[in-house]
Amino acid sequence: MIRVHVWNEGRHEQTDPRVQAAYPEGIHGAIAAALASDDDLQVTTATQDDPGYGLSPATLDTTDVLVFWSHIAQHEFPNELVADVAQRVLNGMGLVVLHSGCISKLFTRLMGTTGMINWREADERTRLWVVAPGHPIAAGLPAYFELPHEEMYGEHFDIPPPDELVFISWFQGGEVVRSGCCFYRGAGRIFYFQPGHETYPNYRDANVGQVLRNAVKWAAPIGRPAPQRGNMPPLEPLPSHR
C-alpha cells in the first residue's frame, strides 16, 4: 500500500459559490476519490485550517506521497513547515504539486525558481498531449485528451528544465505550457501537473484521475537505505591513508 496524503489549502471552497458548486466535497475530496479507486492507494486528506496545518509531524511520518494544492493563503503557511516538508522530499517522500501550487513556497523552494506563469480565466478548452509515451505517468492514457474548461497557463513557465516531461498542454487561446513535469530532488521525486483550477471540476475527469494515480505511484519512495555522505574510509587498503 502507498500512503497518500491529499493536502488542499481549502480556502476558495469557504467563500466562492462557484467552487462550492464544482467541488462540494472540497478539491481534496475529489482528488481523494480519484485516488481511492485504486486498491493500492491508502488515502487521507487535510486542509490548511486543520490542526498542525494538516501537515503534523505524525501525519508526515506516515506519508509516502504528498499531493499538494494551494493558491491564496501561502502567506499563512509557516516557513518552518515548508523547510520540514522540503527536507522530507529530499529524504524520499514523493510530492505531487497541482495547478497553482507552482507558486507555493514549497514548490519554489524545491525548484529554485519563481514558478510564475502567464494565466487567464476564460473557460478555455485545453488539450493535453502525451510527449513521453513510455513514461509510467502516461500509462493507460490516449495520445492526447481534452478538458472542456480550464484556466490557461502559458509559457514562459519559470521552472528549471524538467528531468522528464510527460505532458504539453495547448489552450484554445493559442498558448502552450509544459503541463506534466517530473523532477528528481535528493532521494525524492516531484511531479507537477497543471490542470485543476478551482472553478472547473476537472479532478473528476477520468483521464485526470488516471494521471493522478499514475503520478502517485511514480513518486512513491522506492525503498532503499539513505545515501551516506561525508568523510569516508577507503574500501580498499590505501598506503597513504591515515
Q: Is the dihedral of CA 17, 21, 26, 31 positive or negative?
A: negative
Q: Where are the alpha helices (DSSP H) in 91-204?
A: 105-111
C-alpha cell at 174: 493559442
Q: Say how far apart CA 221 and CA 182 lie, in whole Å.
A: 14
Contact status: 124 vs Zn ion (CB under 5 A): no
Q: Which stretch binds Zn ion (CB under 5 A): 2-10, 97-105, 132-140, 141-149?
A: 97-105
Provide the minimum distance between the beta carbon of 182 and Zn ion in the complex, in angstroms, as a whole number.
22
Binding mask 104-123 for Zn ion (x = CB under 5 A): --------------------
C-alpha cell at 225: 537505505
Provide the minimum distance between the beta carbon of 99 and Zn ion in the complex, in angstroms, as a whole number.
6
DSSP 44-81: EEEETTSGGGG--HHHHHT-SEEEEE--S-GGGS-HHH
Beta carbons of 185 and 163 less than 8 angstroms apart: no
Q: Which stretch binds Zn ion (CB under 5 A): 15-23, 98-106, 109-117, 186-194?
A: 98-106
Binding mask 148-177 for Zn ion (x = CB under 5 A): ---x--------------------------
Beta carbons of 5 and 46 less than 8 angstroms apart: yes
Provide the minimum distance between the beta carbon of 235 and Zn ion in the complex, in angstroms, as a whole number.
52
Residues 196-225 within binding reach of Zn ion (CB under 5 A)? 197
Q: Say how far apart CA 38 and CA 148 lie, in whole Å.
A: 25
Contacts of 76 (CB under 8 A, 6+ apart): 48
Q: Which stretch binds Zn ion (CB under 5 A): 27-35, 139-147, 190-198, 225-233?
A: 190-198
Closest CB to Zn ion among 22 and 215? Answer: 22
Closest CB to Zn ion among 151 and 205? Answer: 151
Closest CB to Zn ion among 100 and 202? Answer: 100
Beta carbons of 67 and 33 less than 8 angstroms apart: no
The helix/strand/coil state of 136 is: helix
Give the residue nearest to Zn ion (CB): 197
Binding mask 5-44 for Zn ion (x = CB under 5 A): ----------------------------------------
Provide the minimum distance between the beta carbon of 2 and Zn ion in the complex, in angstroms, as a whole number.
27
Where on the chain is the footprint of Zn ion (CB under 5 A)? 100, 151, 197
